[in-house]
Every structure is written in C-alpha cells, then in structure tokens.
Chain A
Amino acid sequence: MAEDVWILGIHMTQFGKHPDKDAVDLASEAARRALSDAGVKMKDMGILAAGNLMNASAGIGQQLQKQIGQTGIPVYNVANACATGATALRTAVMAVKAGECDFGLAVGVEKLAGAGLLGAGGGSRSQGTHYEPSGRYGAIANTDGRVGTATMPGTFAQIGMEYGHKYGGTSFELFARISEKNHAHSTLNPLATYTKKMSLEEIMSDVMIAYPNTRPMCSANCDGAAAAVVVGDSKLKTLSLEQRRRAVKIGASVLTSDPWEEACQILPNVNTLTRNAAQQAYEMAGVGPEDLDLVELHDCFATAELVHYDNLMLCEEGGAVDFFDSGAPWRDGRIPVNVSGGLESKGHPIAATGIANVWEICHHLRGEAGDRQIEGAKVGLAHVIGLGSACGVHILEKSAA
C-alpha cells in the first residue's frame, strides 16, 4: 500500500480582477505563498504540476519556474477543462504516492476577468462563400445555436432541466434559491469575486443567460490562482509539530472520465462520472457522505449544484430538491455546501478552481476560516467537473497531530 499524502501548504489568491497582474504573477504569488505556508522552498520540490487552461500551450509550469525557481525538476503542464487544477493536484499526489519524490507542488491559474460566453465555438464562419461540409458532422455552417447548443450556460441549464424531468420538483425559483444561498455565503469570504448578498428577486430578475440560469446563477469569470504543496507520510513525520498539526490528509484523490452511455455525446453526462468518482473516493477514504462536515462542489451554474447533491450522494437518489429544501446545504445546515460562495459568487478562474476548492476545505479543517469557519470541521470533500468530461474529487481530513 502506497503511503498517505498530505497537503502541507496551500494558498488561494484574491479572486476578481487583477488588471496589473498576468497569469505568471498570480501563479507566482499562489506558489510562493503555498511554499511559505508549508515551510519549504522550491528546492525541496520533486515535481511541479501546473495548469492554465485558456493558454494551455504556453507552458505555465516553466514560465512559473523562471520567476520563482528553476531547479530542474520534472514539470507537467496539465489541461483538463474545469478539472485542470484538480488534475494538477492529483498529478503531484501520484508522484509522491509512487515514491518518486517527497514533496510536490501543484498550481492552477487563470486570467478570465471580462471573458464572455464560453463554449460557443469558433465564432462565426465566413458568410457568403460556398457551403462545404467539414468536420466530423459534415457541417456547412457553425452548428451551435442551429443544432441545439453546446455553450456552457446552455449545456448546464439542460442538465438541471433533465434532472427535473426525471425526478420532478424543480423550478426557476428553486434554482435561483440555490444561487441565493451561494451569494449569501460569499459575504463571509473576503477573497471572493463578489461578496454581495443578492435577494431571490434580484437573482430572478437579472439578465437571463440560458433559462433557467440568469447571470448571477452562472459562474463568475475572474482572475485568480491557487497552489498546494503535498508531502508523503514518511517525510511529514520528520517535520515540525506545527507543520504536522496544520497538515491536511488527502484521504482520497480521484479523477474519472465519463463512461459511454446513450446520449452522453449529445448532452454531456456529468452525473455518472461524478457518482463514480464519489464512490471511489468514499471507499478510498473510508468515509461516507454522512461524515462530511462541508462540501465544495462544482456549481458552475445553479442548475449544476442541484444535480451534484445527488451525484455526490449527499441525498438519496432523486432527492436533491428535498435536500435543498431541508436547508441542509446552507452553512448552518446538515452538510454545508459551498460556504466559500461557490463558483457563482467566489468566482471560477478555471484552472485555479480545483485547488481553490481544496484550499477552502483545508482552511476549515485547520480552523483558520475566520468568520465563515464551520466549527469542528474534520472531514470535507472538494469536487470539480470539466466538460468533456473529467471529474476530480478530493476528500480531506483534519490532522490528528
């Protein structure tokens, strides 16, 4: 059995607009702060895994090294849609677990403030030439908007509507109330992009993007970075009591992709791969959903949060609406979900998200979350979905040291 791996240091930058900082600045800030949080240096790292999705061919890992320390270690530049950060973290975890090194550094960064609609394809094709079938569907024009939609808001809207069709109980207002919760939660998170409470009426009367998701029910495009230093169990034992006390155990680190099912190439199925990841993670960590003190899940849209209550088995199958209506996912509820404000309010700098979610959980497990501390938190789960698809689930446990 490979040894346990721990988060030794972790950092998330302010999310929001950083017009004076580029991706390398933000990644440097996150990485250096994570290193100092861990009490180690770049020279201690045996692997660097880094992601910057919107600029994935630029080699953010090496760009980062050139600013904060070129030590000659292997760099893995990773890209896995919105699961890029979780993939970077998992890559570092795997290297430590494999015994290749004692310490690993994972970094995710994105410059996304002001970005508009994502997923609409390559803009308009030149008009008024001649129709020439191209691509895997032999299309003569852009299909998005003509043959349904693959835009992010439209896709996740349908995913929520499909859940309602299957189990009933959903409505525009229900989805808006999920968003109301996350915007309310963000008022306690100074690092969130938006920290303003929004009323149900404000949310429902805001600009409609893709029914039933209005603008505040969509993830906030923003700039941000997050980084984590991981360490193996045997090395951790040699470190100081303070380092051991603040270390957070990675009880499970899981990455899945979507297994083939009917319709999965028509409307992405974000359910099965999340359920598979959750099942594997619970088994690996030896915990169940009832043991979780808090959950950060991928609420890229309000409609997505609902289905993931079910997929992460926070409720019984088909019971997500009742779960929400019971008040369970509010910060004073049975299983607080997205106390950070979630992607809708904290923001979603894509490649940073999968590490920022882990940072939020660690913050609570270490008892360092200030005003939004979930008292006595011992176990938490962080989840991300990247369309295509990839799902990352990490279960984190408070140190006994």
Chain B
Amino acid sequence: MPKQVPLVDYLLLGDDPHLEAWECENCAARFFDRRNACASCEGETFQRIRVANEGIVRAFTIVSLAAPGIPVPFVAAVIDCDGTSVRANVVNIEPTPDQVSTGMKVRLTTFPIGTDDDGVEGIGFGFEPVG
C-alpha cells in the first residue's frame, strides 16, 4: 500500500475520511483555508471541527469547458453539509441535467487522483448520490 496524501489539507484520510474546517471560537464561522483572523468577527482563535459527510446539493453546474487536463463534462456543486457549505464535484453520477438536481442528497467519497514519482498516491474527494 503506497503512502497517501490528500488533495487538500482539509480532507482527512484514514478509516473514516471526512472534511475538517477551521471554526472561529468566538462566532463559529467556518473556513477551509489557513486563517489570519476571522472574516466575520475578527476573532483570532480557531478550532478544527468535523464537517458532516452528508449534505444536499444547493447549487450545481455541469462544466463542459475547463482548464487543460481536467476531464469534462463534470458536475461542480455547492453542498450544504448540515449548515456548512462545501465546494466539491458531484461524482459517480451521469453528468447530465436530468440526473443532477438541487436538493438531492449526497455523501462524501474519496478516490485516487494519481501517483507521484515517489509512489505517493494523491487522494481527492467528491460527493456521490445517496441511495
């Protein structure tokens, strides 16, 4: 089994893959990037907090034109994970307007995106339809 690294640092791998956000300890605003301070309340302290693995699609598009190297078409979406919005692709679904809809239930899934020269496997994530 080669060593694995996540596509982004807020994706936690292992037996129970999930996303983690920075939550402001003062106002509970959540962010996925490295923080300097809170954009909502100017708070300076944050805690790591687990984001729900299931959510609903609040907005989506089916992208047919993308940067070189990105397979198209794919479904890009905003997933509402129990109050925390997540940007992700919707995967394991036919990328057609009759298959994807806002309001549909989805859950987190992970998959390999490639292997580097050192044999390290990159792991990405997406959300797949539930049921």
Residues of A within 8 A of B (CB): 117, 120-121, 123-124, 127-131, 133, 136-151, 153-154, 157-159, 161-162, 164-165, 172, 207-213, 260, 262-263, 265-267
Contact of B7 among A139, A151, A213, A260 (CB under 8 A): A139
Tell me which residues across on chain B come within 8 A of A143, comparing CB atoms.
7-8
A58 and B118 alpha carbons, distance in the complex (Å): 42
A164 and B85 alpha carbons, distance in the complex (Å): 17
Chain B residues with a Cβ closer than 8 Å to the other chain, count? 53
The 7 sampled A-B contact pairs (Cβ below 8 Å) are A131-B5, A137-B8, A137-B9, A140-B122, A145-B71, A161-B61, A211-B97
B17 CB to nearest chain A CB (Å)? 14
Check B103 against A137 for contact (C-beta < 8 Å): no
B66 within 8 A of A: yes
B57 CB to nearest chain A CB (Å)? 8
A140 and B85 alpha carbons, distance in the complex (Å): 22
Tell me which residues across on chain A come within 8 A of B124, comparing CB atoms.
146-147
Tell me which residues across on chain A come within 8 A of B87, comparing CB atoms.
147-148, 150, 266-267
User: Quick one: closest B residue to A125, CB to CB?
Assistant: B69
A130 and B117 alpha carbons, distance in the complex (Å): 6
Check B8 against A162 for contact (C-beta < 8 Å): no
B1 within 8 A of A: no
Check B66 against A162 for contact (C-beta < 8 Å): no
Tell me which residues across on chain B come within 8 A of A151, comparing CB atoms.
63, 65-67
Check A208 against B31 for contact (C-beta < 8 Å): no
Tell me which residues across on chain B come within 8 A of A161, comparing CB atoms.
59-61, 102
Contact of B113 among A120, A138, A146, A212 (CB under 8 A): A146
With A130-B120, A148-B77, A208-B64 as known contacts, state yes or no: A267 contacts B7, CB within 8 Å.
no
Residues of B within 8 A of A (CB): 5-10, 29-34, 39-40, 58-74, 76-78, 83-89, 97, 102-103, 113-114, 116-118, 120, 122, 124-125
Report the number of A-B residue pairs with Cβ-Cβ less than 8 Å.
166
Max chain A C-beta neighbours (<10 A), residue from B31, B78, B89:
B78
User: Quick one: closest B residue to A215, CB to CB?
Assistant: B65
Check B65 against A117 for contact (C-beta < 8 Å): yes
User: Quick one: closest B residue to A208, CB to CB?
Assistant: B64
User: Quick one: closest A residue to B5, CB to CB?
Assistant: A131
User: Quick one: closest A residue to B100, CB to CB?
Assistant: A211
Check A130 against B85 for contact (C-beta < 8 Å): no
A161 and B9 alpha carbons, distance in the complex (Å): 29
User: Quick one: closest A residue to B89, CB to CB?
Assistant: A148
Check A165 against B103 for contact (C-beta < 8 Å): yes
With A131-B122, A140-B122, A162-B102 as known contacts, state yes or no: A267 contacts B78, CB within 8 Å.
yes
Check A267 against B59 for contact (C-beta < 8 Å): yes
A159 and B61 alpha carbons, distance in the complex (Å): 9
